Chain A
């Protein structure tokens, strides 16, 4: 299997001397479902930001799909984020007073996808997360679980290779959380998306194939999940 992500000695330190990440080395296969765990301040968010091209490392190398990211300009990075990466955040980050459909269309604004296909692609993504009946509602009218599904639809609309999920169930009740995990699992198994998930809940992490534990910016353990949790819940309402 080809490695979609390869990081060697990846480090990130800040001007004030704080070391958020200290020489992390690992690789991720294409289609792998990986979870990153660790206590707060362990550097897991920093790692996700580096992997998601939202931040640049101070040391080390990062090859994405075989290419060193250090060779890319800011505009290249924006294009790669748009075309190949999808993000799901703990706090949803939907645009207020903007319909579900328009929210999902957002990444298409910045893409090279012809405008004529936007509506169709966005509608399909909304339907894929089971929110076809909420297409024209605004985020304020949705439950937390529904909001996160909109965010997933938005991450999917450009058909990315990797989905980064930063505590996607952190703000949700357990039922909605399970529902969201079911969708993410489905995306991994049925659509072959590579998933990088950050969580501090073991139950959430155990949906993945592999868990990396970070402590103080370094990898503490990297192991396969023996008894993967399979959510059989029907997520479509």
Chain B
């Protein structure tokens, strides 16, 4: 018997019981659909997260004051004042950190901003003009300059939420707002980011870090020093140079006693990528249970079909079919069923994933891209065929073992 005829015979066998065949493959369809969905959405989520991190510049390095927290309850890193002006000077030295392109000290704090009778509690971010480039900001109006930073000028750039809270339909640019009893001139604002990004500038006011240090927060240390390496490839070596320089500057010999920690966007991307991958694998494993149940359904129905078609098996054997012919026929029938289920599942899964991606990008306003999961599709296709082979194997071998006379006598 040729393959062509085995497949043709199997399809005829399946089409004689169309609605049953459909219900039989439902389990496989659901299983493959969920796998496709999970893999596609997982890849989409990963893409989105990595895209945002990349948006912050994959050549960005950040030095945080304080040692790396040893656990969730370890808050000592919050109170560190280890990063000082002399560190910035040391880091700027090309012989210490040859891969450094730019450097921006920064400070954080909580302040109340008021305009007229309106006041609003928000965060303050003291930085330099480099923030525009590093964080990819699009300020409306102007932004403070290097000159503003060195002269500790009283200029401020407001986040969209701050503007919303203290200005009533008034153009904020050119107005004076009060922070800690001091007047600041609003030179620019930031458009609403939509809330989808990791670093949210909407609820923040930006001032030169020097101004923030001396007039607002009254501190001489920095919260973070944000730097850019000359290229993505230079990031790891630059991170090492930064550590060495800071240890020297702080007089630290034992690296475990570091009073700072250096993180890179690349580390973050890698870590988040791993987390989303693990989540995806976990969900795939859960979805596989549906596939397994579907497989048992296939086995059940194939066993019924073998009993029902006992006479047909006997007849085929009387006409010259060997055990192998019967085995292949029923096996191919099971595989046809599951592969059909797999194809429907791949189709349904990708359509659903597309719909969800579309809904997410429109509904949340995030840049969620639809990804057709080729790996998920290949996996789904292979797994469904394998399920046919495994769960169809037993019924098929039962069929092939039937004796022709037993089978012909069967009523």
What residues make up the interface of A, taking CB atoms closer than 8 Å to B?
A: 49, 52, 54-55, 74-75, 78-79, 81-83, 87, 89, 93, 95-98, 106-107, 109-111, 115, 154, 158
State whether A109 and B9 are in contact (beta carbons under 8 Å apart), knowing that A49-B405, A55-B403, A96-B16 are contacts in the complex.
Answer: yes
Residue of A nearest to B320 (CB): A82
- Are B408 and A54 in touch, CB under 8 angstroms? yes
State whether A107 and B320 are in contact (beta carbons under 8 Å apart), knowing that A54-B408, A93-B315 are contacts in the complex.
Answer: yes
Least Cβ distance of B411 to chain A in Å?
A: 9
Give Cα A11–Cα B320 distance, bound, in whole angstroms: 24
- Are A109 and B1 in touch, CB under 8 angstroms? yes
B312 lies within 8 A of chain A by Cβ: yes
Q: Mask for B152-173, Cβ within 8 A of A = 1, else 0?
A: 0000000000000000000000
What 6 A-B pairs have minimum CB-CB distances, sorted nearest first? A82-B320, A110-B320, A107-B319, A78-B322, A54-B404, A93-B315
Which residues of chain A come closer than 8 Å to B129, judged between CB atoms?
Answer: none
Interface size class, chain B: 20 to 34
- Are A74 and B408 in touch, CB under 8 angstroms? no
Which residues of chain B come closer than 8 Å to A74, judged between CB atoms?
Answer: 322-323
Q: Mask for B12-24, Cβ within 8 A of A = 1, else 0?
A: 1000100000000
- Are A110 and B318 in touch, CB under 8 angstroms? no
- Are B319 and A81 in touch, CB under 8 angstroms? yes
A-B CB contact pairs (8 Å), 30 listed: A52-B318, A54-B317, A54-B318, A54-B404, A54-B405, A55-B405, A74-B322, A74-B323, A78-B322, A78-B325, A79-B320, A81-B319, A81-B320, A82-B319, A82-B320, A87-B318, A87-B319, A89-B315, A93-B311, A95-B315, A97-B12, A98-B12, A107-B319, A109-B9, A109-B321, A110-B319, A110-B320, A110-B321, A110-B322, A111-B320
B316 lies within 8 A of chain A by Cβ: yes
Which residues of chain B come closer than 8 Å to A154, judged between CB atoms?
Answer: 319
Which residues of chain B come closer than 8 Å to A81, judged between CB atoms?
Answer: 317-320
Residues of B357-411 contacting chain A, CB below 8 A? 403-405, 408
Least Cβ distance of B395 to chain A in Å?
A: 19
Give Cα A20–Cα B40 distance, bound, in whole angstroms: 65
B5 lies within 8 A of chain A by Cβ: yes
Least Cβ distance of A198 to chain B in Å?
A: 13
Which residues of chain B come closer than 8 Å to A106, judged between CB atoms?
Answer: 315-316, 319
Give Cα A89–Cα B317 distance, bound, in whole angstroms: 14
Which residues of chain A come closer than 8 Å to B1, judged between CB atoms?
Answer: 109-110
Residue of B nearest to A87 (CB): B318
Which residues of chain A come closer than 8 Å to B9, judged between CB atoms?
Answer: 109
B2 lies within 8 A of chain A by Cβ: yes
Which residues of chain A come closer than 8 Å to B322, judged between CB atoms?
Answer: 74-75, 78, 110
Which residues of chain A come closer than 8 Å to B5, judged between CB atoms?
Answer: 109
Which residues of chain A come closer than 8 Å to B315, judged between CB atoms?
Answer: 89, 93, 95, 106
Task: Give the total number of A-B pairs whose CB atoms are below 8 A apart.
Answer: 61
What residues make up the interface of B, taking CB atoms closer than 8 Å to A?
A: 1-2, 5, 9, 12, 16, 311-312, 314-323, 325, 403-405, 408
Give Cα A54–Cα B321 distance, bound, in whole angstroms: 12
Give Cα A122–Cα B311 distance, bound, in whole angstroms: 22
Which residues of chain B come closer than 8 Å to A75, judged between CB atoms?
Answer: 322
Give Cα A93–Cα B12 distance, bound, in whole angstroms: 17
Which of A78, A93, A98 is B320 in contact with, Cβ under 8 Å? A78
A sample of 10 more A-B contacts (CB under 8 A), given A54-B408, A55-B403, is: A54-B317, A54-B403, A75-B322, A78-B325, A89-B408, A95-B312, A97-B16, A107-B320, A110-B316, A110-B325
Give Cα A96–Cα B309 distance, bound, in whole angstroms: 11
Which residues of chain B come closer than 8 Å to A107, judged between CB atoms?
Answer: 319-320
Give Cα A55–Cα B314 distance, bound, in whole angstroms: 12
- Are B321 and A93 in touch, CB under 8 angstroms? no
Give Cα A54–Cα B314 distance, bound, in whole angstroms: 9
Which residues of chain B come closer than 8 Å to A98, judged between CB atoms?
Answer: 12
Give Cα A82–Cα B325 distance, bound, in whole angstroms: 13
Which residues of chain A come closer than 8 Å to B312, judged between CB atoms?
Answer: 95
Give the one of B1, B311, B408 with max A CB within 10 A.
Answer: B408
Give the one of B2, B12, B320, B325 with max A CB within 10 A.
Answer: B320
Give Cα A15–Cα B325 distance, bound, in whole angstroms: 28
Least Cβ distance of B362 to chain A in Å?
A: 48
Residue of A nearest to B324 (CB): A75
Which residues of chain A come closer than 8 Å to B317, judged between CB atoms?
Answer: 54, 78, 81
Give Cα A95–Cα B44 distance, bound, in whole angstroms: 50
Least Cβ distance of A143 to chain B in Å?
A: 20
Give Cα A130–Cα B199 distance, bound, in whole angstroms: 86
- Are B408 and A93 in touch, CB under 8 angstroms? yes
Which residues of chain B come closer than 8 Å to A55, judged between CB atoms?
Answer: 403-405
Give Cα A33–Cα B2 distance, bound, in whole angstroms: 36
Least Cβ distance of B397 to chain A in Å?
A: 15
Give Cα A93–Cα B411 distance, bound, in whole angstroms: 11
Least Cβ distance of B2 to chain A in Å?
A: 7
Residue of A nearest to B309 (CB): A95
Least Cβ distance of A27 to chain B in Å?
A: 23
Residue of B nearest to A92 (CB): B315
Least Cβ distance of A184 to chain B in Å?
A: 18
Give Cα A81–Cα B314 distance, bound, in whole angstroms: 13
Which residues of chain A come closer than 8 Å to B16, judged between CB atoms?
Answer: 96-97
Which residues of chain A come closer than 8 Å to B319, judged between CB atoms?
Answer: 81-82, 87, 106-107, 110, 154
